[in-house]
Amino acid sequence: MLADYAVRVEQSRGRRYPQPQHPYRNDFQRDRDRVIHARAFRRLEAKTQVFTRRYSDHFRNRLTHTLEVSQIARTLAAALHVNVDLVEALALVHDLGHPPFGHAGEKALDTVMRPHGFFFDHNLHALRIVEDFEIRYAAFRGLNLTFEVREGIIKHSRDYDPQKFPQLAEYALDQRPPIEAQLIDLADEIAYNSADLDDGFEAHLLSLEQIRAGVPVFARYLAEVESIYPQAADKLKFNETIKRILDRMVGDLILNTARRIEESRVHTLEDVHRFPERLVRLSSEVEEERGATKSFLYENLYFSPTLSDEKNDAEVIVASLFGHWMDRPSDLPHQYQEKAQEEALPRVICDYIAGMTDPFIFEQYDRIFRR
């Protein structure tokens, strides 16, 4: 049973190009399947989350991270009685616009675009992918996703200023996104905070004692685990602790969001759209724990000296390739040369680089600069 404030697929605003209903899949299920079968989705398997494969092939990549977000988001959606099919589609598409090299690659692309009057934003790039870059259908370009999925791509993680982004006017930027889209941002945070602690510990960049000292919620649950399993290996103690933190965050998000919805007297989807702020939120206590965990990861992992070489690689490789193709656009693949006849060259080069996997961008750099 869907809550009154949930998105109902039968009330969807539809697709840009109308299509007949499928006999046994609703429109949001079809969107989910279109994302899964997209080339850009497959490429996530070879895009860095935090660690490249030089550490291990056991660590998360963009694809495995996306699947973890999807699992958490579906749990949240079911508990809050909102549309699980829409939430799953949004979770699977939410990182589609990320370039190679993780956040370092995103920053590097934005840096090289700024002098030309452009910028890079992975949400906006994801919209370009599903609207234009994916070529799978004879009748239209892109995946022809429903309005609700396209809206969620844009609005799930941030609020865009309507004055600065007039090209997004159809998405009613002055309104809050539905609960289904709001869930994705915090499902993403919960997934990567716990996963990055796990991968950092597995990579021996973070020790059990270091995490215990720097993350209070981890210390509290680790003490509980040690009292129950005193003889267990450190890795198993770590796993049990992370499991408890995940349960705490997901459970708190469900209960606190349900409480906020009730107290705010939100009854309909329109009420959600018109509410002055986002309703999906952790309690103040757990939000403080989330913030402390994120700060710890930034201070001890993301900006650790061990990972600095990879960030430097991202900056050098992206800047070098971008500059090369700006100087010699004839070296671009033929289809991108054609696009450059219709769109600004910096944007076309950015699109090309953003679509690359980590191995492919290394190949291009070696081919051009080390031949």
Average of pLDDT values for 285-305? 94
- Whether 307 has a pLDDT exceeding 70, the answer reads yes
Phi first, then psi, for residue 5 (nearest 5°) are: -90, 5
Identify the pLDDT of residue 158.
92
| Helix (H), strand (E) counts: the chain | 17, 0
∠ CA 326-349-368 to the nearest 5 degrees? 65
- Whether 53 has a pLDDT exceeding 60, the answer reads no
Average of pLDDT values for 94-112? 94
- Whether 94 has a pLDDT exceeding 80, the answer reads yes
C-alpha span between 256 and 281 (Å, rounded): 7
Domain boundaries of the chain, sorted by first residue: 9-308
- Whether 252 has a pLDDT exceeding 70, the answer reads yes
C-alpha span between 88 and 183 (Å, rounded): 11
Query: Domain 9-308 is of which CATH architecture?
Result: Orthogonal Bundle (1.10)
C-alpha span between 91 and 29 (Å, rounded): 13
pLDDT tier at 48, thresholds 50, 70, 90: confident
300 neighbors 210 (Cβ within 8 angstroms): yes
pLDDT tier at 56, thresholds 50, 70, 90: low
Query: If DSSP codes are grouped into helix, strand and coil, which group holds residue 309?
Result: helix
Residue with tokens 């209903």: 21
133 neighbors 40 (Cβ within 8 angstroms): yes
- Whether 55 has a pLDDT exceeding 70, the answer reads no
pLDDT tier at 319, thresholds 50, 70, 90: very high
Identify the pLDDT of residue 360.
96
**Per-residue pLDDT tens over the stretch 191-232:** 999 999 999 999 888 999 999 999 999 999 999 999 999 999
Identify the pLDDT of residue 311.
82
Identify the pLDDT of residue 248.
98
pLDDT tier at 33, thresholds 50, 70, 90: very high
159 neighbors 127 (Cβ within 8 angstroms): no
Residue with tokens 């492919």: 360
pTM of the model: 0.95
